[in-house]
Homo-oligomer: A and B are copies of this chain.
Amino acid sequence: MRYQDCLHSIRQLNEQFRHYKSIESLFELDQWSMLPAEGAAYRQQTAAFIGEQKNALYCGDQARRVADFLSGVKLEELDNDIDRALVRIFRARYRNAVHTPVDLLREYNLMKAECMNAWKQARQAQDYGIFRPYLARAFDLKKQIALSINPDAPAFETLVGMTDEGLQVQEVSEQFDRLKTGLRSLLNRLQTGHAPETVPIPDCDPEQMERFAQRLARELGYSSERGSFNNRVVHAFTSFMGPRDARVSTYRNGSYNLIFTYLHEAGHAMYASGSSQEIIDAGLWGGVEGGFHEANARFFENMVGHSRAYWSHYYPQLQAELAPFRDISLDAFYAVTHQVRPTPRRISSDEVTYSLHAILRFELERDYFAGELSADDMAQAWNDKYEGYLGIRPQNDTEGVLQDMHWAGDYIGYFQSYALGNIYTGQILQAMHEDIPDMDARMARGDLQPIYVWMQDKIWQYGCCYTAGELMHRLTGTGLDAQPFLEYLERTYGALYGIS
């Protein structure tokens, strides 16, 4: 095998892998929006079949020959960034596919449905005890899988690396400690400041709210040629269906929060569908998974969508189109959307406390996989952490350890990404401000084009060619750094609460 043949084989495998992933995305979208109850069992079989085909790609002769050829090759020796990315990603997929014992994977997949059912029942009964054995089983199987893939690393290290490629648990922990300290200090100081007065905002007609939020998503730059909206799901998400096809799914709701949901998902979608043609041809489209994808979403949700500049342009339009806002001033709206108030639920939390929810979940997982926390103690440890970090104690298990489906739904070793996303947004904002000093003035005129162009140019075009770390180095010259995000929060909330 020659170098070019090897690269050609990788591209072929990549292409087929992406086709399978695209089908899995369509399955997910269908499952949450249109799949009828009795269709679920067969769909699961079809999905399992496709999953096996996808895995088999990397267990065949072609992949083995590629892996053999590459065994002595160093990434630094390769011709260009795309080749390096192809080889890097091939190695990860090959490693995962050939080292995960088929029986273990089957056992895990079979118990997943039971695990989700147990979670639902436990939630209903507000009783973690029902879910506890399933949580233990899911975590332990996940641990075995991680140790099969890499026997030389702690399981949690491998799992975190599978979500946030290239990051070490140690590095994440350090930045999380800085972030945690900064956030708790800010929270304490905000309590000494003057919380701006807020007014209740009534719900609007869901259809009007949806229309307005969709228009805003379009005006960020999310093109109707590259995606479509679906309002039938329970939890909003974005599907990456193809290099120029990223779909935003939301629920129907009259709350103004729907606007931020749309801006968030539009961020995911624009990132996912903004790769250059060269990157698409290499099968590297769609963006870096984990925290960095989240960052692209949260950047539009928060750095753009929560900014006063943004609303100084859009708020009069909101008032014109949605009657309930006519009697609410921009200041009052800004105050409501910047209300800092610890709650037990991550999903409805404010910009300041949000990361703490993610960090404490990351720490619980880390402690579990290190053997320092058992499933028996999880609910208690959860509540203790909430009390310690946020000053509130969940009233019951449903409000606490059972609050979301992540652990029941195979999102294990995933929580760090939500806080990493915030950290990255701070770094992205800083870099963008340097390049576009009049960014706020432009936003206030409704001119979002420079932001779109910058993101396209600096981030989106590269798809998943670089890891998040590599991208941050290209953008800022440094790696993961919580400081800019903390500074952004200090600026924004300090001014509002009169503590700066």
Contacts and interface: CB of A to CB of B under 8 A. Distances in A.
Residue with the greatest number of chain B CB neighbours at <10 A, chosen from A225, A227, A243, A245: A245
Interface stretch (A44-52, A120-128, A353-361): A44-52
B38 A245 contact: yes
A19 interface: yes
A266 B26 CA distance: 24
Contacts of A26: 26-27, 30
A16 interface: yes
Contacts of A41: 244
A37 interface: yes
Interface string A183-226: 00000000000000000000000000000000000000001111
A308 interface: no
A36 B225 contact: yes
A23 B23 contact: yes
B228 A36 contact: yes
Contacts of A64: none
Interface residues of A, number: 36
A1 B46 CA distance: 28
20 contacts: A22-B46, A23-B23, A23-B50, A26-B26, A34-B228, A35-B245, A36-B224, A36-B226, A36-B227, A36-B228, A36-B244, A38-B223, A38-B225, A39-B227, A41-B244, A42-B243, A42-B244, A43-B242, A43-B245, A46-B242
A46 to B, nearest CB: 5
B19 A45 contact: yes
A230 interface: yes
A242 B34 CA distance: 13
Interface in A2-49: 15-16, 19, 22-23, 26-27, 30, 34-39, 41-43, 45-46, 49
B38 A19 contact: no
Nearest to A48: B19
Nearest to A244: B38
Contacts of A23: 23, 46, 50
A67 interface: no
Contacts of A223: 38
Contacts of A38: 223, 225-226, 244-245, 273
A53 interface: yes
Interface in A42-80: 42-43, 45-46, 49-50, 53
A50 B54 CA distance: 12
A227 B42 CA distance: 13
A338 interface: no
B19 A46 contact: yes
A39 B244 contact: yes
Interface string A420-459: 0000000000000000000000000000000000000000
Nearest to A23: B23
Contacts of A385: none
Contact of A53 (B15, B35, B53): B53
Contacts of A242: 39, 42-43, 46
A46 B27 CA distance: 14
Contacts of A34: 228, 230, 247
Residue with the greatest number of chain B CB neighbours at <10 A, chosen from A23, A230, A242, A273: A242
Nearest to A280: B42
Nearest to A16: B49
A49 B16 CA distance: 8
Nearest to A241: B39
